Amino acid sequence: MIQELIVKRNTYAEIDLEAIKSNYQFAKECAPDSKSIAVIKANAYGHGLVEVAKALEEFVPAFAVAIMSEAIELREAGISKPILILQGPQTEDELRLAGRNDFWLCIYSVHQVELVRKTSISNPVTLWFKLDTGMHRLGMSIDMLKESLEHLNGCPWINETRVLYTHFSCSNEISSEESNLQGEKFYYQTKNLQIEEGTNVEFSLANSSAIVNLKSTHAQWNRPGIMLYGMSLFDSKHSSDITLITAMSFYSTVIGIRDIAVGECVGYGKKWTANKPSTIATLSVGYADGYPRHAKNGTPILINNQRAKLVGAVSMDLISVDITELNDVKVGDRAELWGKLLDVSEVAHCSDAITYELLTGVSQRVPRVY
């Protein structure tokens, strides 16, 4: 009974697992000769780590997460596919844990190479080596990569396949040549690598944007992430927008309605003042739920599929909406904060944020309904 009341909270996120499956299939169709590793880090971009993994497991060769605890959560939930940990190992205990659980590990520093060399691991692990081609965040220079591969020659606890990968810095910018340049640099630098006899090398370059827009970067492995959740991938319109299906709809409910006179203000700091007699609806959602704290006056919200505007400061648990021009709004009516009818990118733009930030920011107190 208590669980039933929690699920029926009047603010919730509805997650369309069929949309996520469809988006994954689209990623595969864009690059049919590549294996597509589903990136489900950050609680599957806010959509629910375990639930998304269970929905995709029969279709994917592997998953990718950011940190070890995410991988452990998946194993404890019964997910058996290989799991790539993008931040790699930091301690001997993490390496041993990876060996026991078939975690694949990203390697991007000399420290990690030495850690692998000196730590005996029960079962061989698969290593992904990150080459920095211009992101300058994590990754090795080509000289460092060559030395690292040499230092690990003959190491008995790593698998024979080494995956070399990089990450693009500007792939969402359609007019930018940066991804092409990074791809060319990657292939040029890696083409003459000396590889230990008996081992083989595979490549991974393409993230979501490159999967749909840069065929030259398709390799043995692609890494679809944000596209799995149906988000627009570029800074301008693209044909993929038609195919991708929004997976998260974030809803709340009208819990109060009041009329205010000209000159009256709404919310903390009196950041909005009525310039005409107005009707204000209060919704049961705030920044503690993940609605963006810095959303501006005028940020769109749909109530009964009618477009309304946010007014006043976003509070911890409540927001106010001007419904003066709307028809027949009453307490209990549902509001779409973003989703299939209201693009999250529009809300993000009004909040000086990005879509990733809003999706991953939906808090744990918001029930996910699948």
**281-327 pLDDT, tens per residue?**
999 999 999 999 999 999 999 999 999 999 999 999 999 999 999 99
pTM equals 0.95
Q: Is the Cβ–Cβ distance between 364 and 6 less than 8 Å?
A: no
**Residues forming the active site:** 41, 268
Question: How confident is the model at residue 197, as a pLDDT?
Answer: 87
Beta carbons within 8 Å of 256's beta carbon, 6+ residues apart:
281, 282, 331
Question: How confident is the model at residue 237, as a pLDDT?
Answer: 87
pLDDT tens, the chain, 370 aa long: 455 544 478 999 999 999 999 999 999 999 999 999 999 999 999 999 999 999 999 999 999 999 999 999 999 999 999 999 999 999 999 999 999 999 999 999 999 999 999 999 989 999 999 999 999 999 999 999 999 999 999 999 999 999 999 999 999 998 899 999 999 999 999 998 988 888 999 999 999 999 999 999 999 999 999 999 999 998 888 988 899 999 999 999 999 999 999 999 999 999 999 999 999 999 999 999 999 999 999 999 999 999 999 999 999 999 999 999 999 999 999 999 999 999 999 999 999 999 999 999 999 999 999 9
Range 248-369 classified under CATH 2.40.37.10: yes
Question: How confident is the model at residue 231, as a pLDDT?
Answer: 94
Q: Is the Cβ–Cβ distance between 219 and 34 less than 8 Å?
A: yes
Question: How confident is the model at residue 352, as a pLDDT?
Answer: 97
Question: How confident is the model at residue 6, as a pLDDT?
Answer: 46
Sign of CA dihedral 63, 68, 72, 73: negative
Residue 23 to residue 243: CA distance in whole angstroms: 8
Residue 29 to residue 240: CA distance in whole angstroms: 12
Tell me phi and psi for residue 186, to 5 degrees: -60, -50
Question: How confident is the model at residue 3, as a pLDDT?
Answer: 52
Question: How confident is the model at residue 194, as a pLDDT?
Answer: 85
Domain limits, the chain: 17-231, 248-369
State which H helix or E strand residue 202 sits in: strand 200-204
Question: How confident is the model at residue 2, as a pLDDT?
Answer: 53
pLDDT in tens, 64-110: 999 999 999 999 999 999 999 999 999 999 999 999 999 999 999 99
Q: Where does 17-231 sit in CATH, by number?
A: 3.20.20.10
Question: How confident is the model at residue 195, as a pLDDT?
Answer: 85
Residue 20 to residue 37: CA distance in whole angstroms: 14
